[in-house]
Amino acid sequence: MQKEVMFAGFGGQGILLSAKLLAHAAMNQGAEVMWIPSYGPEMRGGTAYCTVIVSDRLIGSPIVKNPTHLVAMNRPSLEKFAPVVKSDGVVMINSSLIPVRSGRDDVDELIVPANDAAIEVGSVRCANIIAVAAFAARSKMVDLEILRECVKSQFASKAKLIPLNMAAFDKGLELAEGK
Amino acid sequence: MAKVLMKGNEAIGEAAIRAGCLNYFAYPITPQSEVAEYLAKRLPEAGGTFVQGESEVAVGYMIFGAAACGERVMTTSSSPGVSLMSEAISYIAGARCPAVFVNIMRGGPGLGGILPSQGDYFQATKGGGHGDYHMLVMAPDGVQEAVEMTMQAFPLAEKYRGPVMIMGDGMIGQMMEPVEFPEDLYVPPTNKDEWATNGMDTRKSDTKNIVKSLYLDPTVLNDHNLLLKSQYDRMKEEEVRFENYNTDGDYQALIVSYGTMSRVCKTAIDEMKAQGLEIGMVRPKTLFPFPEKAIHDAASKPGCKVVVSIEMSMGQMVEDVERVVKGKTPVQWYGQCGGEVPTPQKVMEHIQSLLNS
């Protein structure tokens, strides 16, 4: 069984880190993983996207045209990638910056005001942690406690940021449950 | 050791340190700059030296100098940078110095683009620099293999006393996969006293070592060329590496593909198998020496109607495939350039259309 997640947004939103945390958690659970960033000219135009592939066997192609799930952090990303997500996938929409919806009735839309919630917990910079936590909770792709440990270890060298990111993580879980 | 999640570029840098390489010279270029970024931090911690050259031309000769002194040395670059180093590579091959070159290929010719490509196959396997020389060229298909090949490259460069190249592409450099660094791949240097200009203080032999590539006497140069040829012949005997994929049973077509492209082909082969269409693949892990017999034998299997060399180039490896298939089976090329890696879907459509035509 293979699942692919497209993380997309603009530069500075922490897209690559969100994707890395998901890949790291899946690896710690024993899965085969691949993390494929965009590094080409589109990145230099301000958009960033990154694919994570998680599988129970060796992963073949790094090229994915129809991902299982999408985490869209800005409007151009949603408009570009929502049409190619597979049926029944999770489409996470950062509603703080995206006033529209996917226009699909065959996907599971997860509406998360990631930027607003991040400001609420202390810094807009942790919107990516809220997003990855909310996405993981809804998609059930990885164990949430393992993911939480990966977030902690990511910030191990900047320990003063751990409480903020843990608060963001919890906020993400809460938003995924629609509380 | 537990697996760690690393970018291909960073993993190559770490693998070099684990292989005992403490000398790294480079000039930044996308998509391999993370090797330099990683080693700029890690190498001093490990007791090594990183010098960023003023250009790839200079870096090539820094490599030559360190290699001549018997030091394990590596550089990494991408296509246009490797062109600039090619003169030095020829000198290093001529002077029989061991050194490791990594090419994380990008689109070309000229400055081309920065996305993945396999357009430097000819350059790596047929020359690049002038004169009668070859490099041992290894092509990893992912981060783990990039680590293993980088660690193996140093002892292989010493065994054959010449440049060894790791041919990756932008995808392998940029992506992250879980990796381990196998400790048993470390091999200590053994033979450098026989040739290195490493000073007489601790050397066991008392003969004077001279590193040079100039031989004005034609008979002496001919003997030198024969000696080099004997090394390349020995590589063909001892170092050919490849992977067979889905070749145990019968198959209607055989794919030959390497690196990132071969990963895409594996997915395509799995999907075609699920639809009842059997396709085999030989994946060269060494581009020089080329897996001649493996490809010839796989192409000659009854039922195999066509051999397709699938590459991110406009048809380079296909010439070697044609050479080794020797007309037994028709050979075709399929590929794409510019940095767009063909999707599994495109590979499937191409194979199916070939078999239906």
Residues B162, B270: one domain? no
Hey, of A7, A51, A61, A149, which one would you mutate to test binding to chain B, going by the most B CBs within 10 A of its CB?
A61
Sign of torsion over alpha carbons B341, B343, B346, B350:
positive
pLDDT confidence of B198, banded at 50, 70, 90? confident
| B277, B311 contact by CB (below 8 A) | no
| B22, B50 contact by CB (below 8 A) | no
- Taking residue A26's Cβ as centre, other Cβ atoms within 10 Å add up to 29
Q: Which residue of A has its CA nearest to B175?
A: A36
Residues B58, B178: one domain? yes
CB contact under 8 A, A60 and B342: no
CB contact under 8 A, B171 and A20: no
Residues B213-224 have pLDDT tens digits of 999 999 999 999
Mean pLDDT value of segment A143-157: 97
CB contact under 8 A, A36 and B174: yes
User: What tokens were used for B334?
Assistant: 């399929």
Residues B103, B118: one domain? yes
Number of helical (H) and strand (E) elements in chain A, helices listed first: 7, 6
* Rounded Cα gap, residues B322 and B208, in angstroms: 46
Q: Which residue of B has its CA nearest to A62?
A: B264
Residues of chain B contacting residue A32, judged by C-beta atoms under 8 Å apart: 178
Looking at the DSSP assignment, which residues form a beta bridge with residue B102?
Answer: B76, B166
Looking at the DSSP assignment, which residues form a beta bridge with residue B101?
Answer: B75, B165
CB contact under 8 A, A61 and B175: no
Residues B192, B64: one domain? yes
Predicted confidence (pLDDT) at residue A179 exceeds the cutoff of 70:
no
Q: How many residues does chain B have?
A: 357
Residues in contact with B230: Cβ distance below 8 Å, sequence separation at least 6, in sequence order:
none
Q: Is A159 helix (H, G, I), strand (E, B) or coil?
A: helix
Residues B212, B327: one domain? no
CB contact under 8 A, B266 and A61: yes
CA angle A20, A25, A26 (to 5 degrees): 100
Predicted confidence (pLDDT) at residue B5 exceeds the cutoff of 60:
yes
Residues of chain B contacting residue A60, judged by C-beta atoms under 8 Å apart: 263-264, 266-267, 270, 344
* Rounded Cα gap, residues B340 and B319, in angstroms: 22
CB contact under 8 A, B263 and A41: no
CB contact under 8 A, B263 and A59: yes
* Rounded Cα gap, residues B150 and B147, in angstroms: 5
Task: Determine the pLDDT at residue A45.
Answer: 58
Instruction: Using CB atoms, pick whichever of B175, B178, B264 lies closest to residue A27.
Output: B178
| A65, A46 contact by CB (below 8 A) | no
Type of residue at B288: F
Say which CATH number the domain at B311 has. 3.40.50.920
CB contact under 8 A, B113 and A41: yes
CB contact under 8 A, A41 and B345: no
Predicted confidence (pLDDT) at residue A146 exceeds the cutoff of 80:
yes
Task: Determine the pLDDT at residue B1.
Answer: 62
The phi and psi torsions of A47 (rounded to 5 degrees) equal -95, 145
User: B238, B266, B290: which is the final residue of a domain?
Assistant: B238
Predicted confidence (pLDDT) at residue A39 exceeds the cutoff of 90:
no
Task: Determine the pLDDT at residue A43.
Answer: 62
Say which CATH number the domain at B134 has. 3.40.50.970
Residues B300, B224: one domain? no
Mean pLDDT value of segment B277-284: 98
The closest alpha carbon to B37, from B49, B28, B45, B25, belongs to B28
Residues B288-346 have pLDDT tens digits of 999 999 999 999 999 999 999 999 999 999 999 999 999 999 999 999 998 889 999 99
Task: Determine the pLDDT at residue B277.
Answer: 98
Residues of chain B contacting residue A24, judged by C-beta atoms under 8 Å apart: 5
Residues B41, B65: one domain? yes
* Rounded Cα gap, residues B300 and B200, in angstroms: 55
Residues B59-114 have pLDDT tens digits of 999 999 999 999 999 999 999 999 999 999 999 999 999 999 999 999 999 999 99
The total domain count for chain B is 2
Higher model confidence: residue A48 or residue A3?
A3
Mean pLDDT value of segment A76-83: 95
Residues B16, B131: one domain? yes
Query: Residue ranges per domain, chain A?
Result: 2-176
CB contact under 8 A, B268 and A63: no
* Rounded Cα gap, residues A55 and A3, in angstroms: 6
User: What tokens were used for B129?
Assistant: 């620099």
* Rounded Cα gap, residues A101 and A103, in angstroms: 6
Average pLDDT, chain B: 96
* Rounded Cα gap, residues A48 and A7, in angstroms: 8
Residues B33, B159: one domain? yes
Domain that holds residue B252: 243-356
Task: Determine the pLDDT at residue B40.
Answer: 97
Predicted confidence (pLDDT) at residue B116 exceeds the cutoff of 80:
yes
Residues B47, B145: one domain? yes
Type of residue at A69: H
Mean pLDDT value of segment B180-190: 93
CATH class for the domain made up of A2-176:
alpha beta
As a whole number of Å, the end-to-end CA separation of chain A is: 31
CB contact under 8 A, B114 and A40: yes
Residues of chain A contacting residue B341, judged by C-beta atoms under 8 Å apart: 62-63
Task: Determine the pLDDT at residue B177.
Answer: 98
| B240, B284 contact by CB (below 8 A) | no
Location of structure tokens 């492209």: B261
Q: Which residues in A have their CB inside 8 Å of a CB on B?
A: 20, 23-24, 27, 32-37, 39-41, 59-63, 65
* Rounded Cα gap, residues B72 and A78, in angstroms: 49
CA angle A59, B277, B253 (to 5 degrees): 90
Residues of chain B contacting residue A33, judged by C-beta atoms under 8 Å apart: 5, 176-178
Hey, of B4, B5, B260, which one would you mutate to test binding to chain A, going by the most A CBs within 10 A of its CB?
B5
Q: Which residues in B have their CB inside 8 Å of a CB on A?
A: 3, 5, 30-31, 113-115, 170-171, 174-178, 260, 263-264, 266-268, 270, 339, 341-345
Predicted confidence (pLDDT) at residue A40 exceeds the cutoff of 80:
no
Q: What is the ipTM of this complex?
A: 0.94
CB contact under 8 A, A63 and B174: no
Please give the torsion angle defined by the CA atoms of residues B38, B42, B47 and B52, in that order, rounded to the nearest 10 degrees.
Answer: 30
Sign of torsion over alpha carbons B123, B172, A11, A3:
positive
Task: Determine the pLDDT at residue B127.
Answer: 84
Q: Which residue of A has its CA nearest to B30?
A: A39
| B290, B324 contact by CB (below 8 A) | yes
Residues B158-168 have pLDDT tens digits of 999 999 999 99
Please report, for residues A7, A139, A164, B7, B110, the alpha-carbon distance to residue B34 in angstroms, rounded to integers and kept in the order given.
22, 32, 29, 9, 22
Please report, for residues B116, B138, B263, the alpha-carbon distance to residue B171 in angstroms, rounded to integers and kept in the order given.
6, 16, 11
- Taking residue B154's Cβ as centre, other Cβ atoms within 10 Å add up to 26
